[in-house]
Amino acid sequence: MAGPLTGMKVIEMVGLGPAPFCAMLLADMGAEVIRVQRPGQELGERARFDVLGRGRRAIALDLRRPEGVETLLQLTEGADALIEGFRPGVMERLGLGSGECLQRNPKLVYGRMTGWGQTGPLAQAAGHDINYIALTGALNAIGRPGEKPVVPHNYIGDFGGGGMLLAFGVLCALLEAQRSGLGQVVDAAMTDGTALLSAMMYGFRAAGRLSDERGVSLLDGGAHFYDTYECADGRHIALGAIEPQFYAEFLQRCGIDDPQFQGQMDPRQWPALKEKLSALFRQRNRQQWCELLEGTDACFAPVLDWAEAAEHPHNRERGTYLELDGVLQPAPAPRFSRTPAATPTTASGDSQSAAVLRDWGLPQVRIDALKSAGVI
């Protein structure tokens, strides 16, 4: 085991999306994370495709049985944190709510991941990333003028505002528990997290630098110097020359001496300048533009697809991606100078209930009884 979180013990109630992402982040950094799943949830050979499930063992536990609930409560006694991503009230109905778990282990950090939060008028409603980012203004801000909002995969709600904020919250609570000796509940809502990701935008908006209209502001593709452009071969590049010195370098390297480009920060000029840059970038293919601009202070990059990203020289040298059992995936991040993360292992296809329970301190006689009863 390696990584800065070595020694931390976490219970993960198996779910979808943001909670497993949080658990993956913790496991990548060395925490021992045990996935608690229902019997029959084993993935078998398909486990290698479960990138979010990498780096941890699984236990199949029947939580409909009192013995299963009691077993999980026993596991919480030796855990630092528990992570769950169900609707509010589900864990309580199982007899595994924060009250029951913290009674067994007062120092436990109980991380809860939902879309709408544990409270509020929408707390019990179903939803997905697209709904959560819609409610917080983020979705409305993404797209072209006069067109409908663009769906940005599920990066913002599920992973940025959800799993990442849950991991931050859990680690904050663990640090506080070291001082106080007491655990607590972390209520991580994707609506709250997405709103938090928009902090800078609200400052821009208050200062009159961000419009409620899509695609007309500095960082949403409205500016000619901060957008994507199509090249002669149909591929695209990304330009982000905001600062005057970077913008000047871009103009110089491209041989642009049109005086209209001197009005960089005049939004009235942006549409016309975008047309001129569109025509310019269509004169060469993407590779030719890379040869001219990549690696300079022009703030330029090619727009790569999934496979191309892993093969780019910069990403290859840094080891940004790795391959496990033939599945390409991102490597653990960030990097640590003294306690680097180890290469993760593929997700567990089958449960290892007996071994996990034994390693977590349950006596063999108890494990044998659970196995005989069909609880594990």
pLDDT, tens only, 43-86:
777 889 999 999 999 999 999 999 999 999 999 999 999 999 99
Render the burial of 278-307: b for 16+ CB within 10 Å, e for the rest: eeebeebebeebbeebbeeebbbbbebeee
Cis peptide before 267 (omega within 30 of 0): no
% of the chain residues with pLDDT over 70: 100
pLDDT at 43 (0 to 100) = 75
Point out the catalytic residue in the list 28, 80, 129, 158.
158
Report whether pLDDT(274) > 80.
yes
Cα–Cα distance list, 30 to 1, 170, 232, 359 (Å): 6, 15, 46, 17
How does pLDDT run across 306-330, given as a tens digit for each residue?
999 999 999 999 999 999 999 999 9
- CA–CA dist 363, 371 (Å, integer): 13
CATH class of 226-230+236-302: alpha beta
Mean pLDDT value of segment 139-148: 96
Contact between 17 and 86 under an 8 Å Cβ cutoff? The reply is: no
Q: Per the structure block, which two tokens stand in for 282?
A: 């269509």
Has residue 1 got a pLDDT over 70?
A: no
Tell me which amino acid residue 160 is.
G
Instruction: Provide the whole-model pTM.
Output: 0.95
**Which among 89, 86, 80, 30 is positioned nearest to 55, based on CA atoms?**
30
SS3 133: helix
**Alpha-helical regions (H) of the chain:** 18-28, 66-76, 90-93, 98-104, 129-135, 165-180, 190-197, 199-206, 244-254, 270-281, 286-293, 306-311, 313-318, 353-359, 364-373
Please determine, looking at this structure, whether the domain spanning 9-197+321-373 carries the CATH number 3.40.50.10540: yes
Q: What value does the mean pLDDT take over residues 290-305?
A: 98
State the pLDDT at residue 39: 87
Domain boundaries, the chain: 9-197+321-373, 226-230+236-302
What number is the average pLDDT over the span 197-221?
96
CA angle 205, 211, 217 (to 5 degrees): 105
Among 128, 236, 297, 359, the one annotated catalytic:
128
| 236 is an active site residue | no
pLDDT tens digits, one per residue of 331-367: 999 999 999 999 999 998 788 999 999 999 999 999 9
Does 128 qualify as catalytic in the annotation?
A: yes
**Cα(6)–Cα(213) distance, rounded to whole angstroms?**
47
CA distance 316 to 86: 38
Instruction: Kindly state the tokens that stand for 51.
Output: 């990138």
How many C-alpha atoms does 62 have within 13 Å on its Cβ side? Answer: 13
- Whole-number CA gyration radius for the chain: 25
pLDDT of residue 41: 77
Using CB atoms within 10 A of its CB, is residue 46 exposed (0-12), middle (13-18) or buried (19+)? exposed
**Cβ–Cβ under 8 Å, residues 41 and 12:** no
* Geometric angle at alpha carbon 156, from 209 and 43, rounded to 5°: 170
Is the model's pLDDT at 42 over the cut of 80? no
